[in-house]
Amino acid sequence: MSRKSIEALASGHYWAVPHAPFPLDAGNGHEEVFPGAHGVSDGKWVTFYKNGEEVWACNAVYAAAHFDFSALPHGGASTAD
């Protein structure tokens, strides 16, 4: 059986939303990102921000596997972060 390969999140600015809640995710930083946050990726690491403050960070492969991302226009912060 082959495993699905997950690509690292590409460099850029995104609006990030955690996948459906899982009880063990709260301790992994997902709670800080819920219900959504501004994510900035350098292709290796993703840092999440709310109200201009860093709330959590993880590697870009983990982020791609556990969050849904929408690109933000012009690389700027969302009005919701």
What range defines the domain where residue 24 resides? 12-75
Enumerate the H helices of the chain as residue ranges.
30-33, 60-66
Closest to 60 measured CA to CA, from 2, 6, 5, 17 = 6
pLDDT at 22: 58
Residues 6+ apart with CB under 8 A from 51: 81
Please indicate, yes or no, if residue 67 is contained in any of the structural domains.
yes
Please indicate, yes or no, if residue 71 is contained in any of the structural domains.
yes
Q: Is the pLDDT of residue 81 over 60?
A: no
Please indicate, yes or no, if residue 2 is contained in any of the structural domains.
no
Please indicate, yes or no, if residue 5 is contained in any of the structural domains.
no
The HSE-up count of residue 51 (CA atoms within 13 Å, CB side) is 1
* CB contact at 8 A, 45 and 60: yes
What does the pLDDT look like over 7-63, one tens digit per residue? 999 999 999 998 866 555 555 677 888 899 999 999 999 999 999 999 999 999 999
Q: Is the pLDDT of residue 1 over 60?
A: no
Report the domain count for the chain.
1
Please indicate, yes or no, if residue 3 is contained in any of the structural domains.
no
Please indicate, yes or no, if residue 7 is contained in any of the structural domains.
no
pTM: 0.81
